[in-house]
Amino acid sequence: AMPEEFAQVVANLMVNSNSCTNMATQRAGLEALTGPQDDVVKMVAAFRNRRKLIVDGLNAIDGITCKLPKGAFYVFPNITGTGLQSKPFADYLLQDHGVAALSGTAFGSYGEGYLRLSYANSEENLTKALERIAAAVEGARPNQA
Tell me, yes or no, whether 145 lies in a domain: no
Which has more confidence, 82 or 144? 82
**C-alpha radius of gyration, the chain, whole number:** 20
Q: What pLDDT sits at residue 144?
A: 47
**Residue-wise pLDDT tens digits, 20-71:** 788 999 999 999 999 999 999 999 999 999 999 999 999 999 999 999 999 8
d(CA 108, CA 103): 10
One domain, residues 16 and 40: no
d(CA 97, CA 99): 6
> 26: domain range?
1-35
- Does residue 102 surpass a pLDDT of 90? yes
- Does residue 145 surpass a pLDDT of 50? no
One domain, residues 127 and 75: yes
Q: For the whole prediction, is pTM greater than 0.85? A: no
Model confidence at 107, in pLDDT bands (50, 70, 90)? very high
Nearest to 86 by CA among 49, 112, 120: 112
Percent of the chain exceeding pLDDT 90 equals 79
One domain, residues 115 and 85: yes
Which residues 6+ apart lie within 8 Å of 73 measured at CB? 47, 50, 51, 118, 119, 120
Q: How many domains does the chain have?
A: 2
